[in-house]
Chain A
Amino acid sequence: MGIVASVLKKFHGGVHPEEFKDLSEKCAIEPMPMPERLYVPLHQHIGSPCEPSINVGDMVFKGQTIGRPQGFVSAPVHAPTSGKVVEIRQHPVAHPSGLTMMVAVIEPDGKDTWHKDISGLEDPFKHEPAEIRERVRCGGIVGMGGATFPSFIKMSPPKDKVVELLIINGVECEPYLTCDARVMEEQTTEVIDGIKIMLHGLQTENCVIGIENNKPRAIEIMKAAVKDIPEIDIIALPVRYPQGGEKQLIEVVTGRQVPSGGLPIDVGVIVHNVATAVAIRDAVRFGHPLLARPVTVTGLGISRPANVQALFGTPVQEMIKHCGGLKNGTRKVLMGGPMMGVAIGTLDVPVVKGTSGILCMTSNETTDKPEQACIRCGRCLQACPVSLMPTEMAWLSRHEELDKLQEYNLFDCIECGSCSYVCPSNIPLVHYFRFGKMAIQTADKEKKRGEIAKQRAKAKDAREEKVKAEREARKAAMKAKMAAKRKAAAAAKGEKPATEKESAPAAGGNDKAAKAARAAKAAKAARAAKAAKAAKAGGGTKDAAGDGDDKAAKAARAAKAAKAAKAAKAARAAKAAKAARADGGTKDAAGDGDDKAAKAARAAKAAKAAKAARAAKAAKAAKAAKEAKADGDSQ
Chain B
Amino acid sequence: MSHANLLTSSSPHVHDGASVDRVMQSVIWALMPASALSVMVFGLPALLVILITVASCMVTEQLFMLIRKRKTTLGDNSAALTGLLLALTLPPHSPWWVCVVGGVFAIGVGKQIYGGLGYNMFNPALISRVFLLISFPAELTTWPVPMPLFSDGAFSMSQAFAIIFSGEYPVNQALDAITMATPLGQYKMEVSMGKTVTDALGGDYGFSYINSMGGNLVGSIGETSAILLAAGGLWMIRKGIITWHIPGSMLLGTLVPALIFWAFDSSVYPDPLFHLVTGGLIIGAFFMATDMVTSPVTIKGQLIFGASCGLLTYIIRTWGGYPEGVSFAIVIMNTAVPLIDQYTRPTIYGQRPERT
Q: A140–B91 Cα gap in the complex (Å)? A: 75
A376–B297 CB distance below 8 A:
yes
Nearest CB of chain B from residue A360's CB, rounded to whole Å: 10
Given the contacts A175-B14, A381-B297, A422-B16, A389 and B346 also touching, CB distance less than 8 Å: yes
Contact with A372, one of B20, B294, B296, B348 (Cβ below 8 angstroms): B20
A373–B13 CB distance below 8 A:
no
Given the contacts A340-B12, A421-B15, A381 and B346 also touching, CB distance less than 8 Å: yes
Inter-chain contacts of B172 with A (CB < 8 A)? none
Interface centre among B13, B18, B23 (most CB of A within 10 A): B13
B1-29 CB mask vs A (1 if < 8 Å, else 0) is: 11111111111111111111011000000
Does A296 touch B at the CB level, under 8 Å? no
Does B239 touch A at the CB level, under 8 Å? no
Does B68 touch A at the CB level, under 8 Å? no
A417–B298 CB distance below 8 A:
no
Q: A359–B341 Cα gap in the complex (Å)? A: 39
Q: A381–B20 Cα gap in the complex (Å)? A: 17
B16–A375 CB distance below 8 A:
no
B10–A431 CB distance below 8 A:
yes
Does B66 touch A at the CB level, under 8 Å? no
The 7 A-B residue pairs with the shortest CB-CB distance, nearest first, are A417-B12, A373-B118, A260-B350, A431-B10, A378-B297, A424-B18, A387-B346
Inter-chain contacts of A342 with B (CB < 8 A)? 11
Nearest CB of chain A from residue B348's CB, rounded to whole Å: 5
Other A-B contacts than A346-B6, A376-B295, A426-B15, 15 sampled, CB-CB below 8 A, are A332-B7, A338-B11, A338-B12, A341-B11, A343-B11, A344-B6, A346-B2, A359-B13, A381-B299, A386-B349, A387-B346, A387-B347, A409-B351, A425-B118, A431-B10
Nearest CB of chain B from residue A446's CB, rounded to whole Å: 25
Nearest CB of chain A from residue B237's CB, rounded to whole Å: 13
B14–A338 CB distance below 8 A:
yes
B292–A345 CB distance below 8 A:
no
Query: Range of interface residues on chain A?
Result: 35 or more
A260–B117 CB distance below 8 A:
no
A343–B349 CB distance below 8 A:
no
- By a beta-carbon cutoff of 8 Å, the part of chain A in contact with chain B is 11-12, 15, 17-18, 96, 98, 175, 247, 251, 256-262, 317, 330-334, 338-348, 359, 361, 365-369, 372-379, 381-382, 385-389, 391-392, 408-409, 412, 415, 417-418, 420-426, 428, 430-431, 434
Inter-chain contacts of B302 with A (CB < 8 A)? 378
B7–A368 CB distance below 8 A:
yes
Does B293 touch A at the CB level, under 8 Å? yes
B292–A375 CB distance below 8 A:
yes
Given the contacts A373-B118, A376-B293, A422-B18, A260 and B348 also touching, CB distance less than 8 Å: yes
Does B345 touch A at the CB level, under 8 Å? yes
Contact with A12, one of B5, B76, B349 (Cβ below 8 angstroms): B349
Inter-chain contacts of B2 with A (CB < 8 A)? 345-346, 348
Q: Considering only CB atoms, which chain A residue lies closest to B17 in the complex?
A: A367
Q: A412–B10 Cα gap in the complex (Å)? A: 19
Q: A163–B294 Cα gap in the complex (Å)? A: 48
Q: Which B residues between 194 and 249 are near A, CB-CB below 8 angstroms?
A: 243
Does B69 touch A at the CB level, under 8 Å? no
Inter-chain contacts of B148 with A (CB < 8 A)? none
Inter-chain contacts of B292 with A (CB < 8 A)? 375-378
Q: A423–B119 Cα gap in the complex (Å)? A: 17
Q: How many A-B residue pairs have CB under 8 A?
A: 185
Inter-chain contacts of A425 with B (CB < 8 A)? 19-20, 118
Nearest CB of chain B from residue A347's CB, rounded to whole Å: 6
B6–A331 CB distance below 8 A:
yes
Q: A534–B354 Cα gap in the complex (Å)? A: 68
Nearest CB of chain B from residue A247's CB, rounded to whole Å: 6
B1–A258 CB distance below 8 A:
no
B350–A367 CB distance below 8 A:
no
Inter-chain contacts of B14 with A (CB < 8 A)? 17-18, 175, 338-339, 365-367, 421
Does B257 touch A at the CB level, under 8 Å? no
* Chain B residues within 8 Å of chain A by Cβ, number: 48
Q: A411–B118 Cα gap in the complex (Å)? A: 26
Given the contacts A332-B7, A365-B14, A375-B117, A260 and B22 also touching, CB distance less than 8 Å: no
A259–B76 CB distance below 8 A:
no
Inter-chain contacts of A373 with B (CB < 8 A)? 115-119
Nearest CB of chain B from residue A325's CB, rounded to whole Å: 12
Inter-chain contacts of B6 with A (CB < 8 A)? 330-333, 343-346
A338–B13 CB distance below 8 A:
yes
B76–A372 CB distance below 8 A:
yes
Can you report 26 residue pairs joining A to B where beta carbons are below 8 Å apart? A17-B16, A251-B349, A260-B348, A262-B350, A333-B6, A338-B11, A338-B12, A342-B11, A347-B3, A366-B13, A373-B115, A373-B118, A375-B293, A378-B292, A381-B299, A387-B347, A388-B348, A389-B298, A412-B349, A412-B350, A420-B12, A421-B12, A422-B16, A424-B20, A428-B10, A430-B12
Inter-chain contacts of B296 with A (CB < 8 A)? 378
Q: A342–B297 Cα gap in the complex (Å)? A: 30
A343–B1 CB distance below 8 A:
no
Nearest CB of chain B from residue A498's CB, rounded to whole Å: 79
A346–B23 CB distance below 8 A:
no
Q: Considering only CB atoms, which chain B residue lies closest to A424 in the complex?
A: B18
Inter-chain contacts of A434 with B (CB < 8 A)? 10
Nearest CB of chain B from residue A335's CB, rounded to whole Å: 10
Contact with A374, one of B11, B118, B295 (Cβ below 8 angstroms): B118
A361–B350 CB distance below 8 A:
no
Inter-chain contacts of B349 with A (CB < 8 A)? 11-12, 247, 251, 257-258, 260, 385-387, 412
Interface centre among B7, B23, B298 (most CB of A within 10 A): B7
B293–A341 CB distance below 8 A:
no
A259–B23 CB distance below 8 A:
no
Q: Which B residues between 243 and 301 are near A, CB-CB below 8 angstroms?
A: 243, 292-299
Q: Which B residues between 5 and 60 are near A, CB-CB below 8 angstroms?
A: 5-20, 22-23
Inter-chain contacts of A258 with B (CB < 8 A)? 349-350
Nearest CB of chain A from residue B259's CB, rounded to whole Å: 30
Inter-chain contacts of A247 with B (CB < 8 A)? 349-350
Nearest CB of chain B from residue A220's CB, rounded to whole Å: 29
Interface centre among B8, B116, B296 (most CB of A within 10 A): B8
B350–A257 CB distance below 8 A:
yes
Q: Considering only CB atoms, which chain A residue lies closest to B117 in the complex?
A: A373
Contact with B298, one of A12, A374, A378 (Cβ below 8 angstroms): A378
Inter-chain contacts of A372 with B (CB < 8 A)? 20, 76, 117-118
B18–A375 CB distance below 8 A:
no
Q: Considering only CB atoms, which chain A residue lies closest to B5 in the complex?
A: A331
Interface centre among B3, B115, B341 (most CB of A within 10 A): B3
Q: Considering only CB atoms, which chain A residue lies closest to B297 in the complex?
A: A378
Given the contacts A338-B14, A381-B297, A424-B18, A343 and B346 also touching, CB distance less than 8 Å: no
Q: A418–B115 Cα gap in the complex (Å)? A: 28
Q: A388–B345 Cα gap in the complex (Å)? A: 8
Q: Considering only CB atoms, which chain B residue lies closest to A261 in the complex?
A: B350
Q: A256–B352 Cα gap in the complex (Å)? A: 10
Given the contacts A257-B350, A260-B351, A345 and B12 also touching, CB distance less than 8 Å: no
Inter-chain contacts of B1 with A (CB < 8 A)? 317, 346-348
Inter-chain contacts of B297 with A (CB < 8 A)? 376-378, 381, 389, 391
